[in-house]
A and B are shown apart, each in its own frame.
Chain A
Amino acid sequence: MDERPLSPHVTVYKWAYTMTLSILHRVSGMALFLALLALIFWLVAAAAGPEAYARAMRVLASWPVRCLVVVAILALWYHFCNGLRHLAWDMGWGFERAQARRSAVIVVVATLLASAVCVYALVRAGAGTA
């Protein structure tokens, strides 16, 4: 059992940025699992009552968590955009190398734009309440 070969042998391939996008889909998915954990924690705290909610918000509004929220926003829009790319592939669209590379660039640009808009809105809202 221990001698079974492990594949794919990623290191034998010449690196292409589409490979990085591919693994980032899984990495962002794992990050979003943690974000979902935080979302449910927030909802359960709100369900538990005002005191529990205030305690939870002290944690969620702390600076380390605020930085993690920015990471979660990036992960969400990356997984969203690249997920749409995967759905297009599932329909049989965009398999050509040039198409896949172009859609990769579109995914990265769209992720950065959507994330920038969200972070800007968050900072504005934060400045308003502070």
Chain B
Amino acid sequence: MNSRANLRSPLAGVLNQGAAHAGVHHWWVMRLTAVALAPLCVWLTVSLLILPGTGYTAVSAWVASGVNPVLLALTTLLAAWHSGLGLQAVIEDYVARPLWKTSLLVLSAFVNALLAASGVYAVLRIALRSVA
């Protein structure tokens, strides 16, 4: 301690001055999902381009074969997560009116959660139907 009398504890000096690593969570998850999505997007695009046909049977067989259901479920889940974080940043930056901002943030979070759940459900249903 320095010689001058100071009744404030060192802890009081830093409390509420900033986030102790919690503030970077949004930033970190955005990067984490981005890094995971990069190879997944290449895989998905190439797979869709070389798909033998866009008919029901061909598409169902592709979704169900090998590691495809796992990668596809992961892609839809991470894409919805990443898109939720991105939309949140855009809404927070450009929508100034509090009521609109909050409503859109809630709507965006709900829609992206719905997309994630629907994507995973659809992939599982196609994959498990082919097994049965």
Is A57 a contact of B54 with CB atoms below 8 Å?
yes
A1 interface neighbour in B35, B54, B98, B129, Cβ under 8 Å: B98
Within the complex, the shortest CB–CB distance from A91 to chain B, in Å, comes to 10
What residues of A have a CB within 8 angstroms of the CB of B129 in the complex?
Answer: 47
Is B122 a contact of A87 with CB atoms below 8 Å?
no
Within the complex, the shortest CB–CB distance from B18 to chain A, in Å, comes to 20
Count of chain B residues near A, Cβ 8 A:
35
- B109-132 Cβ-contact flags toward A at 8 Å (1 or 0): 000000100110111011001000
Given contacts A33-B83, A40-B119, contact A80 B126 (CB under 8 A): no
- A104 at the B interface (CB under 8 A): no
Is A44 a contact of B122 with CB atoms below 8 Å?
yes
Chain B's interface: helix, strand, loop or mixed, by majority? helix
- B49 at the A interface (CB under 8 A): yes
Within the complex, the shortest CB–CB distance from B69 to chain A, in Å, comes to 11
Residues 68-110 (chain A) with a chain B CB within 8 angstroms = 76, 80, 83-84, 86-87, 90
- A59 at the B interface (CB under 8 A): no
Given contacts A36-B79, A46-B59, contact A129 B31 (CB under 8 A): no
Is B63 a contact of A46 with CB atoms below 8 Å?
yes
A118 interface neighbour in B49, B122, B125, Cβ under 8 Å: B49
A53 interface neighbour in B42, B56, B123, Cβ under 8 Å: B56
Counting chain A residues whose Cβ lies within 8 A of the other chain, the interface size class is 20 to 34
- A122 at the B interface (CB under 8 A): yes
What's the Cα separation between A76 and B35 when bound, in Å?
14
What's the Cα separation between A113 and B123 when bound, in Å?
31
Is A43 a contact of B49 with CB atoms below 8 Å?
no
Report the nearest A residue to B112, measured CB to CB.
A33
What's the Cα separation between A87 and B49 when bound, in Å?
27
